[in-house]
Structure 1
Amino acid sequence: MFNPGSNLPEPELLKALLQPLLEDFEYWFKRARILLEDYTIDFLGEEQQAMLLERVKQAQQEVSTAQLLFRTTGGQVGVETSVLVPWHQLVTECWQVGMKFRLENPDITIQERFDSSQP
């Protein structure tokens, strides 16, 4: 199928848009996971923090599966919007938790932990 609003055939458009989007989800879920695993977030409470961490882990698995399918098929498989929207909502929720955590803990730098966990 060809997208009339673009000069790119659909597979190339899919690669140009979906691949970086999946990489972004992977990046932000990894950061969120480090925050949730390595720090006590008092304003969430232990149970809420554990539940958010489990949701992030599940989303990471889903994103990894989508990336694997995308690579395996040479970019011929897309991801339904109904799957992307919850990931985006979860990333937004994690951003909000991270911002509040940083405001309450200005001396903690999560970036250092993230960088040290990079392959």
Structure 2
Amino acid sequence: MVYFKYGKAFHDLRIQHGFSLSAFEELGIAKSTLSNFENGKSMLSFDRLDFALQKMNVSPLDYSLMINNGEQDNYISIFDEIEHAYYQRNIKQLQYIYTKSIKRARTSKS
């Protein structure tokens, strides 16, 4: 039940947006897999979770805020920055994000 909050948040979003468990089969996510995720028995891979969120028009940030009672996970904000820079083909921004992340990681280890 370690993953319960992730699955519960997804379940709530799925119901709120009017999707059935079978609606995600076209993405390669079996009903049983999604049910296990929603019940906290397993975790979905990031790419599958991202595809499922996209299908519901829910951003990873909104999902993260739901999981964390309105507080943003640091990694989600970094993914958003990376995604934005990537689609703009902004190599300098991607390099900056990388350098900033490395510095944060080193500082947190100290």
Structure index of larger Rg: 1
Higher relative contact order (CA 8 A, sep 6+): 1
Q: TM-score, normalised by structure 2?
A: 0.33
Q: TM-score, normalised by structure 1?
A: 0.31
